[in-house]
Structures are given as C-alpha cells and as structure tokens.
Structure 1
Amino acid sequence: MKNIAMVLYPDFLLLDIAGPLEVFSIANRYLAPDKHYRITIIGTESGPLRASNGALMQAEFTLEQATGSYDLLLVPGGPGAYNHQHPELLTWLRGASERAGRYGSICTGTFILGHAGLLDGYRVTTHWHYTERLIKAFPKARVETDQIFLEDRRLVTSGGVTAGIDLALSMVALDHGRKVALDVAKVLLVVMSRQGGQAQFSPLVANITTHETPISRVQNYVLEHLDESFSIARMAEIAAMSPRHFARLFAREVQMTPMEFLQNARIDQARSLLESSDLPLKTIAFRSGFGSVRLMRQRFVERLGLTPLQYRLQFN
C-alpha cells in the first residue's frame, strides 16, 4: 500500500488538491487492495481550512499529529502559498521531506517548498504566471518555464492547477504501469501526455511598460506592424541608436534579444487570430509576418511544441 499525503494551509487552491487525489482514488479501482493508495490530509491547524474559492476542508491530522513517513508528500498551490509565510509548516516539511519516498508541489506550492529550502539545486517548475517570481525568489533553484511537470530525484513539481493531474498520473504510471494510469486518464476524460508545454497557455511577450522609452517605442511599433520585415538595423533606426548599442540595451531591458521579441510577438499574434477567427492559415501567417504557413508551422513547433492547426483545435 502506498501512503499519499497532502498538506493544507489557509487560502489553498482546492483544485490543486482535488485533481491529484481523484487520480489516486480512481486508481484504487484498478488495483488489488494491498496495492491501494491510502490518502491522508494534513492541516496546519485543527478545524476546517478555507480554500481560496471559499470552500471549507477538514484535515485528518494536524502537523503535530502527522509524524509518520509517506511514499508521496505533496503541497498544493494557492494565494496562501505565495502571499503568506507558514513557519510551522516550513519546519515540519524539512523533516517530513527527509522521511518521504517522494515529495513535491502542485502549482505555486513550489513557493512553500522554496521557503523551506527544498528547491536549491533542483530542476523545478510552477504555474507559468509565477515562474519569473519563483526565479527571483529562489535563485539557487533551476526553474524551467515550459514544463507541465518535472521529476528531479525525489522532488516532483508541476505547472498550474490541472497540471497536478498530469503529475499524479505520472506517479501512478511509475508505481503501477502505464496501463493503470491510462485507465484512470480515460475515467477523468484527460490525455496521458499533453501536446506541448505551458508556453501554449502563456503569452510570450510580456506587457510593455506604459512609460515611453526608446525601447518601448520600438516594441510598440513592431507590434503594430508585424506584417512588415524587420532587422536589428531597422529597429535600431526607429530607436535612433546604433545597432550594437540598441541590441545590448534591448536585451537588458526586455530580457530577450530584439529578434526573439519579434518572433514571440508574431507567434502571439498568430495565436490570437487562431483563437478568435476562422481565417485560413495562409492569411494568419501573412498578417503575423511569417510570410508562409511552412515558416509559421516551424516556429510554432519550435516554441510551443504543436502546430498552428493543433493549436486552433485546442483553443478555438
């Protein structure tokens, strides 16, 4: 029997808990009794704990009562993970993680693991909206921004919300084989392996500052004229700088090269048109500045892990 523990704290995200736990619960239907998962809910305090959506959930044990070891110990995400400190939980996690077969987080639960000192030197991921914040908060962690979930030695982390289901399915596959995990996925009406990573859900170009600078002026001009051809020399001319100085300043301010910004902006434009219209792929490729469907397809596969047509089928 495998022991699965999930830790609750105030302001957790309910789906981060419910999704993975349903995977393990449904897996029990396909397993012999002695192979079942035993699920334990541990709370930072006694009594019901309120989720971010207002629902109340009662833990089976408090931290003080939960002194055993677990095959898998998970911390969910939620506003309480990154907006509040939980010193008693951090102390408990340091000891409990040493006794666990595997430990990890769902979504932004990585912030709690980080504050407990459990991310340093590990490859980790979290919800795409919070990856930059995670990178700044825990520079010793190796944050990967496009993974649905990651396993590095005994540490497992997942992207946002429903990615916890993907992580749990992978754990079932490791424990009991792909057939059992596939049966569970079919019951939940989800796929075993998603096409692409988190990048397909997140904008590739961040919001541009409202304070005008030579760099932001170039960014806005590019976004308004994506169907035109651009080079570093042309963008530098718009900024009234030398190409070398412009490229260096752009990379420092935007955290990507001018050509990376251009390609990401074109992909974002194409994604928007794929989501909101039935325009032919050729028209979308032209309006986004790719020039051809072939080049657009190539850039989509390189950056998002799926073709424009696959993207349209998923999001249109």
Structure 2
Amino acid sequence: MAVATAVVAYDDAELLDIACVTTTLATATRFLTGEHTAHSDAPPVTTSDGAGYDIRLLAVGGRPVTARPGLRLEAHGALEHDTGPVDTLIVVGGYGHLRAAHDDVLVAHVRRLARRARRVASVCTGASVLAAAGLLDGRRATTHWAFADSLAHDHPAVTVDPDPIFIRDGRIATSAGVTSALDLTLSFVDEDHGPDLARRVARALVTYLQRPGTQAQMSMHVAAPAPAHDVVRDVVDHVVQHLDGDLSTAALAERAGVSERHLGRLFRTHLGRSPAEHVRRTRTEAAAALLATTDLPLARVAGRCGFGSSETLRQAFLDTYGRTPSEHRRAFRVPQAVGGGR
C-alpha cells in the first residue's frame, strides 16, 4: 500500500521546499514500481513494500497556491477536508510562513492531521507552523539559520538549534533551509525502504548521498559573505590559507597589529564568535572536506588542518557535528576521490 504523504503549502511558499520533498518521494516511487529501472540498466529495487508514496499537496480551501518565484501550483485538495489517513505530514516553508502560522484554519488542521500521522515534519520556516500548532513544545527543532532567533523568540517552549540541517525528535522532524529538505526526505526513504534505495534516489537526483542531520548549515562552502571589517577579513583569509600554522589569538592579533582583546571584540561583533572558536571551526570544516574528497589517513588530515593529533580532530568533530571523522567519511565519501589526495 502506498505511503500517504500530505504536503501542506500556502501562498508565498518556497517552490524548492515543495519540490525537494515531492521530487524525492516521486523518484523513490518510480524505483519501487519499476518505472525508473525499466528505462535504465539499473537492477530492480528489492524492498518489503513496492507501492511507493502517494503524495497530496494540500492548501486551505483547496485553492491554487502562488509559490516563489510567482508560479501557481494546483492543490490536490483542501487541507480542512482531508480526512486522511496520513502517514507523513510535511509543512513547507517560505516567506509566507508567518501568515500561515497565524492562519487559524491552517494551523488547526495541521494539528488535527498530525495527531494520527506516523511522522510530522517541516521544511525551513515551516517550523513556524508546527510551533504555532504546539507540535514543537518541549522539543528540539531547527529552521533556516536566518530565522532561528525569531522562532526561538516567538516560541520559548521550543529549543531551537540553528546549526543542524535537520533534527529528528521522536516522530517530529524539522529541517533547515530549502535544499536540506532533500536530506530529510532521503532519510525518510532510508527509514521506510532501506539505504540502498536512498542511495539510488540520491544518485538519480545528482545530489550528495544523504547528509546526516548533524551536518552544519553554515559550512565553508555556504558561509556568510566575508566580513566587512578590514582587520577581521584579513585575519579570516589568513586562517583559511594557513590552517597548519600558528593561529593562536596572540599570533593573529600580532599579524593584525591590534591587541588580543581588541581582536576578540572585533570577531565577536562581526562573526559572533571568538578568534579561537573561528579557527577551530574553520579547521574542522576543512578537515570535513578532506575526509569526503581524499583517502588521506586521519593523522594526515589532522596535520594538514592544524590539529595536533587525530584525537584532537575527533573531539572537534564530535563537538561540531556530533559524529566522528570516520563516520563523516563513510557518510560523505565521494567515489571519484578514492585513491587520490596522497
């Protein structure tokens, strides 16, 4: 029997939030029903249930929704008239999330469907709707990093963690910005049908084999723009280019021609963390990239990135990502990198 999946949308929802969920599940369904393998050389998928996912896009009144960037999507039905059953309920995000969170009809029926759903999830700022429905009270949750503070302020009963790309707290999951919905939805496919199907879907979508939820939202590759302050920008650039060098606060302050105390104030003002915290995070993210793209031993990775030992690298990974370097390598391994980087 197909897994009934209700995707809740509203005006000014983000189109990618919707598509990342629906396309991932539709691709999994094509594999499960044999449609995808019929047009390729891939072997058939063997699972306990080959029925796939029955995806329904729901909106208040069953009206079309205008999603960013201005495309109109037809809903499959009215949220308030959908009686289920719903296995998985997913609320998408977008710039209309606050209006959606104050829509009494939408919130009430999300709450109603959630009561009997096996899984409930939000994409990006869709967490605001789940929070308004009381579904995140007493739970740990995430959202797009740019909206985390406002979610925490508006819903003090929710423990908001802006760092992970998605969080599972019991049967409720929340994800970060936009394409993190791919990772969350792939984790659902893995949970329902196993890692082999999840890997095939990821390859079909030409995306990373699913990133664990503990992957940080703000990495070296999607970091905020360079700091506007000349001193901070110069030090940040120096750190990236000299990971295995002396990056103590004293050495960085001397290079910048300022006192350690002043450098600390500048970093906290412009980056929100101390120089030492920034150095450790940058080294950890550089090590994460090396682990995914080379076969260097852990000790070599640690040395290249300025960690004194493999154990120091391991502790930095546990503190930053909640997993060990070896676990990261297994999750993010890029096949083309095997044999390179020595």
- How high is the TM-score relative to the length of structure 1? 0.70
Count residues with an aligned counterpart.
285
**Residue deviations 1:46-105 (CA, integer Å, cap 9, x gap):** 432100111101112112211223100001111111466442211211221112111111
* Counterpart Cα distance in 1 of 2:124 and 2:218: 15
Matching residue within 289, 304, 307 for 1:293? 304
Question: Hey, what does 1:100 align to over in structure 2?
Answer: 117
Alignment CA distance shift 1:46-1:264 (3 Å): same
* Whole-Å separation in 2 of the counterparts to 1:236 and 1:139: 38
Matched, 1:60 2:71: no
The alignment yields a C-alpha RMSD, in angstroms, of: 4.2
Equivalent-residue separation in structure 1 for 2:114 and 2:53 (angstroms): 19
**Aligned residue in 1 for 2:176:** 159
Separation (CA, whole Å) in 2 of partners of 1:84 and 1:131: 17
Deviation string, structure 1 residues 90-128 (Cα, Å, up to 9, x no partner) = 121122111211111112211221222221222222223
* Helix, strand or coil at the partner of 1:157: strand
Q: How far apart in 1 are the matches of 2:269 and 2:147?
A: 21
1:41 is aligned to 2:57 = yes
- 1:5–1:72: 8 Å Cα contact kept in structure 2? yes
- Give SS of 1:108's match: helix
Q: Distance in 2 between matches of 1:16 and 1:254?
A: 28
- State the AA in 1 paired with 2:68: S
Q: Post-superposition shift, 1:256?
A: 3.5
Pair 1:79-2:80 in alignment? no
Deviation at 1:130, TM superposition (A): 2.8
Offset at residue 224 of structure 1 (A): 8.0
Contact 1:90-1:112 within 8 A present in 2 as well: yes
Is residue 199 from structure 1 mapped to residue 218 from structure 2 by the alignment? yes
Aligned partners of 2:166 and 2:173 also within 8 Å: yes
What is the match of residue 180 of structure 1?
197
Find the counterpart in structure 1 of residue 106 from structure 2: 89
The answer to whether the 8 Å contact 1:121/1:141 transfers is yes
Q: Do 1:217 and 1:239's aligned partners in 2 also have CA atoms closer than 8 Å?
A: no
8 Å contact kept, 1:7–1:76:
yes
Counterpart for residue 12 of structure 1: 13
Unaligned runs of 5+ in 1: 211-215, 275-291
Instruction: Give distance in 2, aligned partners of 1:112 and 1:256.
Output: 31
Matched ranges for 1:112-191 at <5 A: 112-191=129-208
Identify if the C-alpha distance between structure 1 residues 116 and 207 changes in structure 2 by more than 3 Å, giving closer, same or farther: farther
Distance 2:305 2:63 in 1: 58
Aligned-partner SS, 2:108: helix
1:102 partner letter: R
- What CA distance in whole angstroms lies between the structure 1 residues aligned with 2:267 and 2:146? 23
Is 2:8–2:92's contact at 8 Å kept on the other side of the alignment? yes
Q: 1:64 to 1:145 in 2, by over 3 A?
A: closer
Percentage of matched positions with identical amino acids = 33
8 Å Cα contact 2:110/2:133 also seen in 1: yes
CA contact (8 A) 2:284 2:305 kept: no
SS at match of 1:45: helix
Higher alpha-carbon deviation: 32-41 or 3-12 = 32-41
Match of 2:43 in 1: none
Distance 1:65 1:85, change over 3 A: same
Q: How far did residue 143 of structure 1 move? A: 2.6
Cα distance in structure 1, aligned partners of 2:258 and 2:155:
35
1:293/1:67 Cα in 2 relative to 1: closer, same or farther (>3 Å)? same
C-alpha separation in 2, matches of 1:112 and 1:5: 15
Partner Cα distance (1:240, 1:119) in 2: 44
Equivalent pair of 1:91/1:116 in contact (CA under 8 Å): yes
Aligned-partner SS, 2:114: helix
Q: 1:135 is paired with a residue of what secondary structure?
A: helix
Please give the alpha-carbon distance, in whole angstroms, between the structure 1 residues aligned to 2:165 and 2:78: 30
Equivalent residues of 2:232, 2:267 under 8 A apart: no
